[in-house]
């Protein structure tokens, strides 16, 4: 879940500043009506793949609604995320069948392995973990979707295996790159 | 003025008032948690103020019913009590009652309702709800205790009424729902310095004004 901070502090990192500049331009296309709140949030997320505190503050000012109202709506819907997605996206299904089959244990395994909560991203932006309601293959419960690959009947031991796989992949990429460089 | 009969007693009430408010003003207690006088659209979310009205089949929430001439109301039927006790147990499954540490001294609405319904302050036979929320949350001017909060929403409403742009809001959804505090800009310019209405209206001691803020403003919660 989103980190519910008391006050939004404008972070002055260049990435967020660029996002905010773009959001300011986007806002001008929307009329100042309360009903536009969700469409605006969706447009921002479509473009930047997450909502940052500064952007939500700008939306609140644009529509002249309380900042809390924007946060209330954004945290209510699962659709909105508050952290940029990682390079590898891990989605753990917690629909009815997966819940019964222990999907929450799988989610906990991912969270513990990466040291983050669901909805968050690792500081190096490599991995993000989120929970989803149902991915539509309940016969394979419990299910996790890793970068669009469905992992069915997933066991806690498999979680470790997935990361080993990523590690091997990364090492191979590095090796190939090194070989390319040396051959040039 | 209209006349209505509550539990066999005739009472007078102003037109346009809710049944709940009229009963309370006539000294007849009906359990309630989320009710605020003069509120335009009562949320009827606590599900405690049920009564039976002749002409309606199932019990109805008295905060959403306007008084009318000749209404015959009963507040203590078996069906009403059953609904109220269940609703109360569900509230108590989220409200961890700790009398020793509770800032609400003496005048606790939950204790009053428990006595009225003749039930204990535990959720038994229901289980205590285990929520994945923090023990204490810092709201700059207040301290928020999610395990005491029953999400009646009075603080959010009163904050919006008084300050226009409310600083308090509901956040998240379902079991994860909590009250959250969002202010933008300089905290020195927040209305909370002099307001404190949310902490005063909180019936469960979930929102407590920080001692240093109390002194600065001179408002006692």
Verify that B95 and B4 share a domain, yes or no.
Answer: yes
Q: Give how far Cα B20 sits from Cα of A52, A101, A102, B134, B162, Å.
A: 44, 46, 46, 35, 24
Chain B residues near residue A72 by CB distance under 8 angstroms: 169-171, 180
If one looks up domain A14-76 in CATH, what number appears? 1.10.10
Q: What is the mean pLDDT of residues A142-150?
A: 93
Number of domains in chain B: 2
Residue B72: φ, ψ to 5°: -115, 115
Enclosing domain of residue B183: 137-217
Contact A6 B183 (CB under 8 A): yes
Contact at CB, B160 and A1, closer than 8 angstroms: no
Q: Closest chain B residue to A64 measured between Cα atoms?
A: B165
Identify the closest residue of chain B to A4 by CA–CA distance. Answer: B180
Q: Which residues of A lie closer than 8 Å to B, measured between beta carbons?
A: 1-2, 4, 6-8, 57, 60, 65-69, 71-72, 75-77
Task: Verify that B110 and B198 share a domain, yes or no.
Answer: no
d(C-alpha A123, C-alpha B92), whole Å: 39
Let me know whether B141 and B122 are in one domain. no
Same domain, B67 and B159: no
8 A C-beta contact, residue A26 and residue A62: no
Boundary (domain end) residue, out of B111, B130, B149: B130
**Are B88 and B191 part of one and the same domain?**
no
| Residue B99, domain CATH | 3.10.20.740
B168 touches B195 (CB < 8 A): no
**Which residue in B151, B153, B169, B189 has the most chain A C-beta atoms within 10 A of its own C-beta, making it the best mutation to test that interface?**
B169
Tens digit of each residue's pLDDT, chain B (221 residues) = 899 999 999 999 999 899 999 999 999 999 999 999 888 899 999 999 999 999 888 999 999 999 999 999 999 999 999 999 999 999 999 998 888 888 887 789 999 999 999 999 999 889 998 888 888 999 889 999 999 999 999 999 999 999 988 999 999 988 889 999 988 777 888 888 888 999 999 999 999 998 876 655 444 43
- Packing angle of the helix pair A103-114, A156-183 (nearest 10 deg): 40
Measured between alpha carbons, how far is A24 from A54 in angstroms, rounded to an integer? 11
Q: Are residues B111 and B149 in the same domain?
A: no
Identical fold between A14-76 and A88-183: no
Q: What is the pLDDT of residues B49-107, one digit of tens each?
A: 999 999 888 999 999 999 999 999 999 999 999 999 999 999 999 998 888 888 887 78
Ordered by start, the domain boundaries in chain A are 14-76, 88-183
pLDDT tens string A67-112 = 999 999 999 998 898 988 899 999 999 999 999 999 999 999 999 9
CA–CA separation, A58 and A20 (whole Å): 8
Minimum CA–CA partner of A117 in chain B: B132
ipTM, interface predicted TM-score of the complex: 0.82
Say if residue B92 is in the same domain as residue B142.
no
**In this structure, CATH architecture of domain A88-183:** 3-Layer(aba) Sandwich (3.40)
Three-state secondary-structure class, residue A131:
strand
Question: What is the rounded CA–CA span in Å between residue B157 and residue B43?
Answer: 10
Quote the minimal CA–CA distance from B156 to chain A in Å.
Answer: 10
The separation between CA A20 and the C-alpha centre of its own chain, rounded to angstroms, equals 19
pLDDT on residue A110: 94
Whether residue B149 sits in one domain with residue B123:
no
Last residue of a domain, one of B84, B103, B130: B130
Report the pLDDT value the prediction gives residue B221, as an integer from 0 to 100.
39
Report the CATH number at residue B173.
Answer: 3.30.70.20
Contacts of B175 (CB under 8 A, 6+ apart): B129, B131, B132
In a shared domain, residues B81 and B30: yes
End-of-domain residue from the set B130, B150, B172: B130
Say yes or no: B17 and B87 in one domain: yes
Strand blocks (E) in B56-205: 60-61, 72-74, 137-138, 142-144, 168-171, 178-181
pLDDT of residue A12: 60
């Amino acid at each position: 879940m989103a980190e519910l901070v008391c006050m939004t502090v404008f972070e002055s990192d260049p990435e967020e500043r660029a996002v905010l500049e773009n959001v300011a331009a986007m806002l001008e296309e929307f009329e100042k009506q309360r009903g536009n709140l969700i469409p605006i949030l969706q447009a921002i997320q479509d473009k930047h793949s997450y909502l940052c505190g500064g952007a939500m503050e700008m939306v609140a000012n644009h529509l002249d609604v309380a900042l809390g109202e924007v946060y209330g709506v954004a945290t209510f819907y699962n659709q909105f995320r508050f952290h940029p997605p990682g390079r590898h996206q891990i989605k753990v299904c917690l629909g009815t069948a997966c819940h019964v089959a222990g999907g929450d244990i799988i989610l906990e395994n991912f969270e513990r392995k990466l040291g983050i909560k669901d909805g968050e991203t690792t500081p190096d932006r490599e991995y993000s973990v989120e929970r989803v309601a149902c991915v539509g293959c309940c016969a394979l419960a419990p299910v996790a979707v890793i970068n669009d690959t469905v992992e069915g009947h997933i066991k806690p031991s498999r979680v470790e295996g997935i990361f080993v796989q990523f590690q091997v992949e990364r090492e191979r990429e590095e090796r190939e790159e090194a070989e390319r460089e040396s051959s040039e | 003025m209209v006349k209505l009969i509550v539990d066999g007693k005739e009472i007078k009430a102003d037109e346009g008032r809710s049944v709940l408010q009229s009963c309370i003003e006539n000294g007849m207690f009906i359990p309630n948690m989320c009710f605020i006088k003069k509120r335009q659209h009562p949320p009827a979310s606590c599900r405690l103020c049920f009564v039976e009205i002749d002409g309606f089949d199932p019990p109805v929430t008295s905060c959403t019913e306007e008084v009318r001439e000749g209404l015959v109301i009963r507040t203590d039927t078996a069906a009403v009590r059953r609904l109220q006790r269940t609703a109360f147990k569900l509230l108590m499954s989220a409200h961890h009652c700790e009398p020793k540490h509770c800032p609400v001294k003496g005048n606790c609405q939950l204790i009053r309702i428990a006595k009225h319904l003749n039930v204990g302050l535990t959720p038994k036979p229901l289980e205590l709800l285990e929520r994945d929320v923090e023990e204490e949350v810092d709201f700059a001017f207040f301290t928020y205790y999610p395990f005491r909060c029953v999400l009646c929403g009075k603080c959010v409403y009163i904050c919006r009424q008084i300050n226009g742009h409310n600083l308090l809001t509901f956040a998240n959804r379902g079991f994860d729902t909590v009250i959250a505090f969002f202010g933008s800009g300089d905290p020195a310019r927040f209305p909370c310095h002099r307001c404190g209405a949310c902490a005063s209206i909180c019936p469960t001691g979930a929102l407590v004004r920080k001692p240093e803020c109390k002194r600065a403003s001179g408002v006692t919660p």
